Structure 1
Amino acid sequence: MGTIIEFVLPAESFIFGPALTQLSGVHIELERIVPLGEQPVPYIWVSGTAAEPFEQFAMESPEVESATLLDQIDDRLLYRIVCTPAAGTLLSALFETGGTILEAHGDDHWFFRVRFQNHDSVTAFHTACDANNIPVTIERITTLDTVDGADLPVELTKEQQEALVLAVKHGYFESPRLVSLDELSDELGITPQAVSKRLRPAIKKTVYQAVRSLNGSEVGERR
């Protein structure tokens, strides 16, 4: 029986802390983590800053060995980051306890959604964080109880649900679209970028749930 936990921690408590705390308006989203031996390689999307200042501040993190710009789409930069988890850090705690990062993004703080094999692994992770003074605040714990190939329900935050319901209601997914991202942002009282950040994970989670239900097995999540 697997377990998913959602937690937050201050921006400076993860490897890209210097970039988040010293660059105003920057947002970082982990695309995936590929373990290569003991050296994890995150692929990340960066928005709200140019490449040069981000790379400068990213390299101030002692765990970061290199930052390679792979692509740019509009104002979003895709990076390959080679890093080595230092002892007593969040990354080392996750890898030592078998945590798999399903979702992670950061600006003034980091949000993580992580899957563990069982509750014992979650307890070990929490113990490691306490022992190393990693200021993790757990917001939600979900037990994944799969029976006969049935998968878990879609777990959306209140903000994601609100944005998704509003988008469907006003025809955002129609072809052609009946409402723009700007119009949705006006109704929600947030920026278009913030609406997009809510819709993207909501759509992803909903689609993967539907595919899993049809396929009867787990489908690896990619962005």
Structure 2
Amino acid sequence: MAITAQQHLSSPVLPLVSIAKYTRSDEIECIQGLNLQPNLQLFIVQIDAEEDVSEDDLSMLDEVVEATLLGESSGKAILKLTVELDETVAGAFDGSTDGALMDSILVTPEGWFEEKLFKDYTAMSEFQTTCEENNIDVEILSLTHDSTSFEDDSPYGLTERQHEALTLALSRGYYERPRQVTTEELADELGISQPSMSDLLRRGERQLLTATLDTRGYINALSK
């Protein structure tokens, strides 16, 4: 079940944020990123040509190792930037996390706004965990999913909606102690009411227990 997530990533040392702060519009677009070596990343970015930001200006920023102007297109200056990553976030850029970028990343002083495609909720949860382990906060702004392959992906007799509710709850820490999210917050992410979310979880949990524990067989065995 493919998941498309619109996310806000934030950290005071997230790469390119200092460059966004340097512009009058407080934003730039990152259209490509490539890991060169540990703590070193290459980014292709677009900056409004009217900003009049030069290669020398960018090279003066602490995180920028090298800046090269590639040209202009549609009123945008296209630049190649080699950036030294802060060691506290470098682990999130080693290429080990899954997720296909669906569009360019909007970088602002508040962080990165991006849309990524994950193969399932587990992959999305792993991405979030990697970010959090590297001091990057992840806020999910919206979620959509492709349920065309649901019948192959959802065992134990769960309905599609039960599967979606349970996997989201698991990925967001609902079953951890203490809980990391409330049913109200989960309901907001799915665009349903809190009672509906609670009902989906309750029915889904019951279906999983029934299917995995085979309670009817157990009861029959006790009655013999």
TM-score by length of 1: 0.52
Per-residue CA distance 1:58-100 (angstroms, 9 max, x = gap)? 7422xx4322111124642101223465554277258321222
2:3 aligned counterpart, secondary structure: strand
Within the alignment, does 1:140 sit opposite 2:164 as a pair? no
Which residue in the other structure is 1:77 paired with? 77
Partner Cα distance (2:62, 2:37) in 1: 24
Per-residue CA distance 1:29-72 (angstroms, 9 max, x = gap)? 122335668775332111252222784367422xx432211112
Consecutive unaligned residues in structure 2, runs of 5 or more = 150-224
Q: Which runs of 4+ in 1 moved over 6 A?
A: 36-39
Partner Cα distance (2:32, 2:139) in 1: 22
C-alpha displacement at 1:145, in angstroms? 3.5
2:51 aligned counterpart, secondary structure: coil
Per-residue CA distance 1:160-207 (angstroms, 9 max, x = gap)? xxxxxxxxxxxxxxxxxxxxxxxxxxxxxxxxxxxxxxxxxxxxxxxx
| Matched-pair contact (CA < 8 Å) for 2:59–2:67 | no
Amino acid at match of 2:127: F
2:20 aligned counterpart, secondary structure: helix
Taking only aligned residues, the RMSD between alpha carbons, in angstroms, comes to 3.3
Amino acid at match of 2:65: E
**Cα–Cα, structure 1 residues 5 and 88, in superposed 2: closer, same or farther, change >3 Å?**
farther
Percent identity over the alignment is: 17
Amino acid at match of 1:67: A
> Comparing 68-77 with 4-13, which one deviates more in the overlay?
4-13
1:136 aligned counterpart, secondary structure: strand
Rg comparison, structure with higher value: 2
Which of 113, 116, 121 matches 2:115? 113
- How many residues matched? 145
Which residue in the other structure is 1:27 paired with? 27
TM-score by length of 2: 0.52
**Cα–Cα, structure 1 residues 33 and 23, in superposed 2: closer, same or farther, change >3 Å?**
closer
Partner Cα distance (2:91, 2:47) in 1: 19
C-alpha displacement at 1:144, in angstroms? 2.8
Partner Cα distance (2:20, 2:96) in 1: 26
Which of 41, 55, 58 matches 1:56? 58
Within the alignment, does 1:131 sit opposite 2:133 as a pair? yes
> Comparing 89-98 with 112-121, which one deviates more in the overlay?
89-98
**Cα–Cα, structure 1 residues 53 and 35, in superposed 2: closer, same or farther, change >3 Å?**
closer
> Comparing 84-93 with 128-137, which one deviates more in the overlay?
84-93
**Cα–Cα, structure 1 residues 144 and 95, in superposed 2: closer, same or farther, change >3 Å?**
farther
Which residue in the other structure is 1:43 paired with? 44
